[in-house]
Amino acid sequence: MTQENNQRIISLDLLRGIVMVIMALDHVRDFTHYGSYFTDPTNLATTHPALFYTRWITHFCAPVFVFLAGTSAFLYGIRQDRPQALSWFLFTRGLWLIFIELTVVNFGISFDVNFSFHIFQVIWAIGFSMVCLSGLVLLPKKILLAVGILLVAGHNLFDGFRMEGEGFLAMAWYFLHQGNFMVSDSGTVTFIAYPLMPWIGLMALGYCFGQLYSPDFEADKRRALLWKMG
């Protein structure tokens, strides 16, 4: 681990930077490639290698961002006097990110002053996961790790369970796992692009991973563990 005097961990910052460059590449493809909204760049029948890989590689972006958000939460928490301070920080920061997603980000995508276009993407997923983590950090670390593993490794077990309609239970399931694209009778569009279940688990795992970067964790031991984990 390489650190600067301000306690930034350069290796983690470098990983974030690489992912941001990859994400920017995908956004450039999205907004400049002819037909990007009508054809799937991963459709082998219509794509070509350069187009395919500029889309495929971006599947690493959101998982890395969410995972490292959990790691950053742990590193922030060890500098606080009480775990409740971290919990409150995560809760308020998460609500702020949700607000930004549903206002600034949505308007930046749709330019709809009536805000009839609601898309729930990665900023929303990070924000809501932070809200959930604000409660999970008060649990013992082993329980938090178990929750993270269960949500990440087990969420696909529910893929066969589908719901329809706009009732409360159906909407809750869309947000938790299924996702959906809906247009109401009034013309309001709701697109749940990032269902929450796996992202909550991934942030919890990132939080547990942060222990490897605590000041009292030996660098050689961390390096050996990272090599074993691949």
* Distance, CA of 116 to CA of 6 (rounded, Å): 43
What is residue 1's predicted lDDT score, i.e. its pLDDT?
45
Residue 224 included in any domain: yes
What pLDDT is stored for residue 230 in this prediction?
66
One-letter amino acid at 117 equals F
Tell me if 149 is assigned to some domain.
yes
pLDDT at 153: 95
Helix (H, G, I), strand (E, B) or coil at 24: helix
pTM of the model: 0.88
Within a domain: residue 43?
A: no
For residue 25, tell me if it sits in a domain: no
Q: In the chain, how many domains are there?
A: 1
Please indicate, yes or no, if residue 14 is contained in any of the structural domains: no
pLDDT at 103: 93
Rg of the chain on CA atoms, in Å: 19
| 100 in a structural domain | yes
Asked if residue 40 belongs to a domain, the reply is no
pLDDT along the chain (230 residues), means of 10: 60 91 86 75 84 87 94 93 93 97 91 88 95 96 96 94 91 94 87 95 96 87 83
> What local confidence, expressed as pLDDT, does residue 6 receive?
54
Instruction: Please answer whether residues 124 and 102 qualify as being in contact, where contact means their C-beta atoms are separated by less than 8 angstroms.
Output: yes
Task: Determine the structural domain holding residue 156 and report its residue range.
Answer: 62-229
Is 206 domain-assigned? yes
> Which amino acid is it at 86?
L
